[in-house]
Amino acid sequence: MAIIGEIRKHYWLLVAIIGVALLLFVLSDFQRKRTKQSNTIGIIAGEKIAITEFNKRVEENSEIQKTNSGKENLTAEESYQLRQQTWQQVVNEIVMNKQYDVLGVSVSVEELDDLIRGKNPHQYIVQSFTDPKTGQFDSKAVNNFLKNLDNPEQVKPEMKQRYLQMEKAIKNDRQSTKYNSLITKGFYVPTAFAKRNYFETNTMAQVRITGIPYQTVSDSLVKPTDADYEKYYTENKYRYKQDNPVRNIEYVLFEPKMSEEDVVLLKTNVQRAYSDFLVATDVVGFVNSTSDNRYDSSWRKRGSFAPHIDSMLFNAPIGQVLQPIDENDVYHIFKIMDRQTKPDSLKASHILISYAGTPIKTATRTREAAGKLADSILTVVKANPGLFEMFAATKSDDESAKVKMGDLGWFADGAMVPEFNEAVLKGAVGDIKKVETQFGYHIIKIAGKKDLSEKIRVASVDIKMEPGAKTIEALYNEASTFASANSTIEKFDKAVKDKGFNLRNADRLNESDNTIPGLKTAREVVRWSFNEETDKGAVSNVYDIEGTYVVVALKNKIEKGFVPLDVLKDAIKPLVIREKKAELIMKQVSDQFAKGKDLNSIIQKFPNTKIDTADVSFASANIPMYGHEAKLTGQIFASKKGEVSGPVQGDQGVYVFVLDQLKEAPATTDFANQKRQMAQYFQGRTGMLSNILQEKADIKDHRLIFY
């Protein structure tokens, strides 16, 4: 009853405390949700970056990369890298533009025009307007292009957009050059600095020295305590400051492997496919319906296959179906379709007339209109072949070949789409032909053929050695059961040990990481690790990453700032042990010195040591035969000639020495060379300026929420 009375007495205080706690919880949850629902992917130097604008930049860069690489689509890894590059691009632009504005670093309209069509144009212009046939820069082409820049009949919108991006890049490059020049030319080395550096570099100390390496003391002789760890951490805490949050995880991979049942079924399916292939009349249709890869009509020369397969294929008659061959976890069943002597290399130019529905996204004309335009161009260039390059430069939808007047150069047989490749192969040098491919209509001028060799066309039924659906389902169930039964890291670790699983670790993961050992695309694992709702010691659900199941445990959450001692303890253990060894050795040396302060007495106490003679420079801090020992170097130059000094605790061991002679640097009044070297050193470090400016920009990166 007394307790109930006390509760009643403080009733309103308890209500207030509970109310405040609930309010803080709700506000915290609201803040998290507001962040997730925000349209801001980051804040750079106070400037908000909208996710829509950022995605637009990513898409622009993606289209450029696809054009440059000739790809229709980018891989997941390429897309990730592109987003990273775009983010860095945005950061650099904002940070540097603020610097340019403050310092008045600009590029005038007249200066930019001179960089584009002046006597010494920018390298981007030279590269884009160099005639591929002559290798000469064509200034007239630049003026002609700019004159027609706003004429969509002559310069397509996407080509104009690419030019404007290049113009922007030229301007940025010139601004960057000016800014860097402003910084580097601002360095001045006073004579006093140069003089001091000269004497520090050229004054040499001749010493007799003996060192007792730490490895002479067994680890078993030192037992660091918690106080030792605390002492080392306190003294060296500044070394372990974390600029960005990181995570340490451990994980288990459940990788699919074929069961005995899968192997038996696979062999049965392969033998059935072989038997059916022997009697198949529609080879292409059979391959496309049976094989894991579609029919490939390419002509292949010797050396295109593994040596043992190559020999069998080139010695087999046309029409033969070879027995199934096991290679790199794939069964191949080959049929020889044809054999010819054909050129290895082909050369051609083309004019592409595309239409809506093809991979050329900018094409809007109908297929019928494209066909009529292609026919009219074909008629003109056949009558007057000299006009081919003009049409290729003005009418073609192939932007990469357009700047080269349609010239595709030499390419390997089979490098082009089949219809295009076949037209060049069957035609004679000098022929002009029209052919339709998935990209539209091509008017092709055949320019050359060379390097004849025997080639074969092969139909291949490829059947991959993969686990079946039942095996994969069983593996997922195993992974899922493991994850649900081991929901804490303690249970996780015990189960891994009990089951004999291979435990993997990934330490110091950054928010921006995409890979971990064993997995090329582990972005979802990284995002889970950094999710604010994922607590230290938590275990994830099952992740399916490219067919491999993953269960993850979060070992440590290391936030920005000083890394806690409990996280560092294992990492600094060798250093703490080194400190204890140093204490032990230094006490033994001091005890020996109490009997007689002499280098020879150290040799007697530590029989595996010897006395070395060395010349030491203050500037380099390198001790011959012992390595870099800055503290020891300082002690040498601060000691008195002829006195036994030490013990000195270094990085590699404990040292005792005698300064025999100080060789002064040769007298001089000319420090020009020293000034130049010091200036070059400082100027070479301007590359760090970008990182420093970004640190000062107070960047808030919210990409983790979106990607």
Q: What is the pLDDT of residues 213-228, one digit of tens each?
A: 999 999 999 999 999 9
Percent of the chain with pLDDT over 70: 94
Band (pLDDT 50/70/90 cuts) for residue 28 is very low
* C-alpha closest to that of 90 among 131, 124, 42, 127: 42
The reported pLDDT for the residue numbered 217 is 92
**How much is the average pLDDT of 553-572?**
92
Calpha distance 696→693 (Å, rounded): 5
User: pLDDT tens-digit profile of 356-411?
Assistant: 888 887 788 899 999 999 999 999 999 999 899 999 988 898 887 888 889 999 98
Query: What distances in angstroms separate CA 204 from CA 196, 664, 672, one per listed residue?
Result: 14, 7, 21
All residues at 6 or more sequence positions from 683 whose CB lies less than 8 Å from its CB, including other chains: 184, 187
| Contact between residue 671 and residue 191 where contact means Cβ atoms under 8 Å apart | yes
**How much is the average pLDDT of 300-328?**
92
User: pLDDT tens-digit profile of 35-87?
Assistant: 444 799 999 999 999 999 999 999 988 887 887 777 778 888 889 999 999 99
Calpha distance 391→384 (Å, rounded): 11
The reported pLDDT for the residue numbered 19 is 52
The reported pLDDT for the residue numbered 140 is 85
All residues at 6 or more sequence positions from 351 whose CB lies less than 8 Å from its CB, including other chains: 374, 377, 381, 388, 391, 392, 395, 396, 398, 406, 442, 443
The answer, yes or no, to whether residue 458 has pLDDT greater than 50, is: yes
The H or E element containing residue 557 is: strand 548-558
* C-alpha closest to that of 245 among 513, 539, 573: 513
**How much is the average pLDDT of 319-344?**
93
| Contact between residue 594 and residue 251 where contact means Cβ atoms under 8 Å apart | no
**How much is the average pLDDT of 294-311?**
90
The reported pLDDT for the residue numbered 31 is 45
Band (pLDDT 50/70/90 cuts) for residue 27 is very low
* C-alpha closest to that of 651 among 631, 679, 668, 678: 631
The reported pLDDT for the residue numbered 287 is 95
The reported pLDDT for the residue numbered 130 is 81
| Contact between residue 43 and residue 49 where contact means Cβ atoms under 8 Å apart | yes
Band (pLDDT 50/70/90 cuts) for residue 22 is very low
Calpha distance 247→554 (Å, rounded): 7
Calpha distance 659→213 (Å, rounded): 21
**How much is the average pLDDT of 334-343?**
92
**How much is the average pLDDT of 480-500?**
96
DSSP letters along 115-150, please? HHHSSS--HHHHHHTB-TTT--B-HHHHHHHHHTTT
Orientation angle between helical segments 51-69 and 157-184, nearest 10 degrees: 100
Query: What distances in angstroms separate CA 121 from CA 128, 135, 174, one per listed residue?
Result: 11, 16, 12
The reported pLDDT for the residue numbered 133 is 62
Q: Which residues of 165-184 are buried (b: 16+ CB within 10 A; e: fewer)?
A: ebbeebbbebbeebbeeeee
Q: Which residues of 442-477 are buried (b: 16+ CB within 10 A; e: fewer)?
A: bbbbbbebeeeeebbbbbbbbbeebbbeebbeebee
The reported pLDDT for the residue numbered 9 is 45
CB half-sphere exposure, 638, CA atoms < 13 A = 8
Residue 135, both tokens: 């290798």
For residues 17 and 578, the model is more confident at 578
Band (pLDDT 50/70/90 cuts) for residue 673 is very high
User: pLDDT tens-digit profile of 510-557?
Assistant: 999 999 999 989 999 999 999 999 999 999 999 999 889 999 999 999
DSSP 8-state secondary structure symbol assigned to residue 291: S
User: pLDDT tens-digit profile of 168-209?
Assistant: 999 999 999 999 888 888 888 999 999 999 999 999 999 999
DSSP 8-state secondary structure symbol assigned to residue 386: G
The reported pLDDT for the residue numbered 6 is 40
pTM over 0.75: no
| Contact between residue 51 and residue 40 where contact means Cβ atoms under 8 Å apart | yes
Amino acid at residue number 44: I
Query: Considering the chain, what is the average pLDDT of its residues?
Result: 89
Comparing 8-22, 90-104, 204-218, 415-429, the range with the smallest average pLDDT is: 8-22
The reported pLDDT for the residue numbered 8 is 42
Calpha distance 606→593 (Å, rounded): 13
Residue 112, both tokens: 């930019």
